[in-house]
Amino acid sequence: MALKEVPARPAEASAREPHRGRLLEVENLTVEFRTPYGVVNAVNGISYTLDAGETLAILGESGSGKSVSAQAVMGLIESPPGFITQGAIRFRGVDLLTIEESERRSVRGQKIAMIFQDALTSLNPVFSVGYQIAEMFMVHRDMPKRDAKKKAVELMERVGIPSAAERVNDYPHQFSGGMRQRVMIAMALSLDPDILIADEPTTALDVTVQAQIMELLDALQSETGMGLILITHDLGVVADVADRVIVMYAGKIVETGSVYDVYANPAHPYAEGLMQSIPRLDQKGVELNPIKGSPPNLMRIPSGCPFHPRCPYRQDVCVTDEPPLYEVSADRRSACHFWQDVLAGKARRA
């Protein structure tokens, strides 16, 4: 979708913000949905960490488990049908899965905030945007309505909504798509959260607006030093902003590494497929190679490596043995038995 050049070397990117400790540790997270048709294994034991000031992109097709894993962190999985069967989600060392709902609620929104794909449906149509932002202060800070409204205007200005004071009493449908997403961002940032999770924040927007929203998120992140998780199916959109990337497939992490490395030279065939299906300015004349086959059925995930039915590097071992996350380099992992071949670009194409 987005035509991007290869992002800048990560050295500059991570130097931008000094680390202030580990914010989030997700360990062996497993989420399943029990439906009348069978159990959907949406997330199958993923682990990752997020530090302050860091931007992590979680990349995958729909059904890869990227959104579900984020909702699990937020505690938005409806149960039933959703169940977190294994794992831990530690926020500043505290496992969110073991604490009381009331404690959990004090984390939600205040410490970890989230914005969603479609800001129009994600904002309540019958309340003014000002009220919806102010509600954060009224509920969590016991602030009187008038002061909370003032805060709302400040926040709206901060996220770049023009003439915020006049627009504070307008309703969501009166804003454009980009402005609505800014409202969502303002609401999410109102209580200075440590972590912001953005679930496909720009997918519903025009390409030009997409870039503006990404810039805004990037600027706000550098300003506050929060940890940012960007969930996306389009690496092109987040490549400039993200430091690290996690590639998910069938509810598992298949590759992780710095954005630069993964983008420039993937170590997993699926990541490679994703990269080859993005039009790139630096590879003019190269044919686009969409990934063959269709995403796996999460009720019947293939044996061995879940990607094997679609994989150009497949060998017999892939059907029987599930690959562990091999260490490719210090900060890089790939769940492919033949990651070396992938790095070398030796696909055994028919």
Partner 1 sequence: MSKRARRAREATAPTPLPNEDALREGVELAGVEAPQPESITVGPTLGGTDPGGAGAQVTATAGDAPLRQASLWGDAWRQLRRNPLFIIPALLLVLFTLMAFWPSLFANGDPRDCDLSNSILPPSREHLFGFDVQGCDYYTRVIYGTHVSLTIGLITVLFASTIAITLGSISGFYGGKIDAVIARIADIWFAIPITLGAIIILNFLGTRGLFQVSLALMILIWPTMMRLMRSSVLSVKEMDYVAAARALGASDFRILRTHILPNGIAPVIVYATITVGIVIAVEATLSFLGVGLQLPSISWGLMISGAQARILASPHLLFFPAVFLVVLVFTFILLGDALRDALDPRLH
Partner 2 sequence: MGRYLIRRLLELIPVFFGATFLIFAMVFALPGDPIRALAGEKPLSEAVQREFREEYNLDDPLMVQYGKYIGGLAQGDFGKTFNGEEVLTIMKEKFPVTARLAMIAFIFEAILGVFAGILAGLRRGSFMDNLVLVSTITVVSVPIFVLGFMAQLLIGVKWGLLPIAGLRHGWLSYAMPGMVLGSISLCYIARLLRTSLGENLRADYVKTAVAKGLSKMRVVGRHTLRNSLIPVVTFLAIDLGTLMAGAIVTEGIFNIPGIGREVFLAVRAQNGPLIVGIVTAGVLIYMFANLIVDLLYAVLDPRIRYE
Residues 6+ apart with CB under 8 A from 94: none
Q: Which of 121, 294, 329, 340 binds partner 2 (CB under 8 A)?
A: 121
Q: Which of 62, 174, 176, 320 binds partner 2 (CB under 8 A)?
A: 174
Q: Which of 18, 36, 125, 345 binds partner 2 (CB under 8 A)?
A: 125
* Least distance in angstroms from the C-beta of 199 to partner 1: 21
Give the neighbor-by-neighbor strand order of the sheet with 112-115.
Answer: 112-115, 195-199, 227-232, 55-59, 244-249, 252-258, 332-334, 326-329
140 binds, among partner 1, partner 2, none (CB under 5 to 8 A by kind): partner 2
Q: Which of 120, 211, 278, 347 binds partner 1 (CB under 8 A)?
A: 120
* Least distance in angstroms from the C-beta of 149 to partner 1: 25
Q: Which of 16, 92, 140, 233 binds partner 2 (CB under 8 A)?
A: 140
* Least distance in angstroms from the C-beta of 181 to partner 1: 16
Interacting stretch for partner 2, rule CB under 8 A, among 108-116, 227-235, 303-311, 332-340? 108-116
Would you say the C-alpha torsion 227, 233, 238, 239 has a positive or negative sign?
positive
Q: Which of 93, 100, 142, 173 binds partner 1 (CB under 8 A)?
A: 173
Q: Does 118 engage in binding with partner 1 (CB under 8 A)?
A: no
- DSSP run (H or E) holding 137: helix 129-140
Q: Which of 91, 116, 307, 338 binds partner 2 (CB under 8 A)?
A: 116
Which residue reads 């992490």 in tokens?
Answer: 253
Distance CA(226)–CA(314), nearest Å, equals 40
Distance CA(317)–CA(310), nearest Å, equals 15
Residue 102: phi and psi, rounded to 5, are -65, -40
The number of residues that bind partner 1 (CB under 8 A) is 3
* Least distance in angstroms from the C-beta of 173 to partner 1: 5
How deeply is 350 buried, as exposed, middle or buried, from its count of CB atoms within 10 A (0-12, 13-18, 19+)? Answer: exposed
b/e sequence 152-172, b meaning 16+ C-beta within 10 Å? bbebbebbbbeebeebbeebb
Is there a contact between 332 and 339 (Cβ–Cβ < 8 Å)?
A: no
Binding site for partner 1 (CB under 8 A): 120, 125, 173
Binding site for partner 2 (CB under 8 A): 74-76, 105-110, 113-114, 116, 118, 121-128, 135-136, 139-140, 171, 173-174, 184, 187
